[in-house]
């Protein structure tokens, strides 16, 4: 097991994995030292680590998440999707600035039901959406990515 060593910092909310590519938002919670340490750990396993600016939201995943394989959901005011390379992009509805945070699990996007306009965009693009009520989490700036633990392959689950 490997840990980020201080003074370096790395917050999971700033880490977006797209296939073998890992993007890390530079923020108040993730710095160059933490990003470099992650790069050193991930490289031997065939992953690349790229630092990208994080702005607007609390974390990188406030601005962009994976909606389906090869597809990202992005708030373009907070993230330039061009930094992610070759991906398909679905932009959030501008009236729902916090709508870029979804959690892809088992081929479905666990997604807040409080963003109906963006949900319509996702569904129109063919993304399978599993709506959930996260209104209590949202009161504390929580979202599905930071308030979820996903286990796969554990005791047959």
One domain for residues 77 and 7: no
Which residues, including other chains, have CB under 8 Å from residue 150's CB and lie 6 or more apart? Answer: 103, 105
- pLDDT tens profile 20-38: 999 999 988 899 999 999 9
- Within the chain, strands assigned E span 15-18, 21-26, 48-53, 64-68, 71-74, 88-91, 103-105, 108-112, 129-132
Sign of CA dihedral 16, 72, 128, 48: negative
* Distance of alpha carbon 105 from alpha carbon 129, whole angstroms: 10
One domain for residues 48 and 103: no
147 is a catalytic site residue: no
Sign of CA dihedral 55, 56, 62, 65: negative
What's the domain range around 50? 1-54
Q: pTM for the full model?
A: 0.89
One domain for residues 97 and 141: yes
132, 137, 146, 147: which one is catalytic? Answer: 146
Which residues, including other chains, have CB under 8 Å from residue 101's CB and lie 6 or more apart? Answer: 61, 62, 65, 112, 143, 144, 145
One domain for residues 50 and 83: no
One domain for residues 43 and 70: no
When divided into structural domains, the chain yields a total of: 2
- pLDDT tier at 157 (50, 70, 90 boundaries)? very low
- pLDDT tier at 152 (50, 70, 90 boundaries)? low
Residue 153: pLDDT over 60? no
CATH number at residue 145: 3.75.10.10
One domain for residues 119 and 155: yes
- pLDDT tens profile 82-104: 999 999 999 999 999 999 999 99
59, 61, 119, 121: which one is catalytic? Answer: 59
One domain for residues 40 and 2: yes
146 is a catalytic site residue: yes
């Amino acid at each position: 097991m490997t840990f980020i060593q201080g003074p370096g910092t790395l917050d999971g909310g700033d880490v977006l994995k797209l296939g073998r590519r890992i993007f890390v938002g530079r923020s108040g919670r993730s710095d160059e030292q933490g990003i470099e340490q992650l790069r050193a750990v991930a490289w031997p396993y065939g992953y690349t680590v790229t630092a990208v600016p994080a702005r607007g939201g609390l974390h990188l995943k406030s601005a962009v998440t994976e909606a389906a394989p090869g597809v990202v959901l992005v708030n373009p005011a907070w993230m330039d999707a061009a930094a992610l390379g070759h991906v398909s992009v679905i932009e959030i509805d501008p009236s729902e600035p916090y709508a870029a945070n979804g959690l892809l699990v088992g081929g479905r996007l666990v997604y807040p039901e409080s963003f109906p306009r963006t949900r319509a965009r996702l569904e129109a693009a063919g993304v399978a959406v599993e709506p959930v009520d996260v209104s209590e989490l949202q009161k504390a700036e929580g979202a599905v990515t930071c308030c979820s633990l996903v286990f796969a392959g554990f005791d047959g689950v």
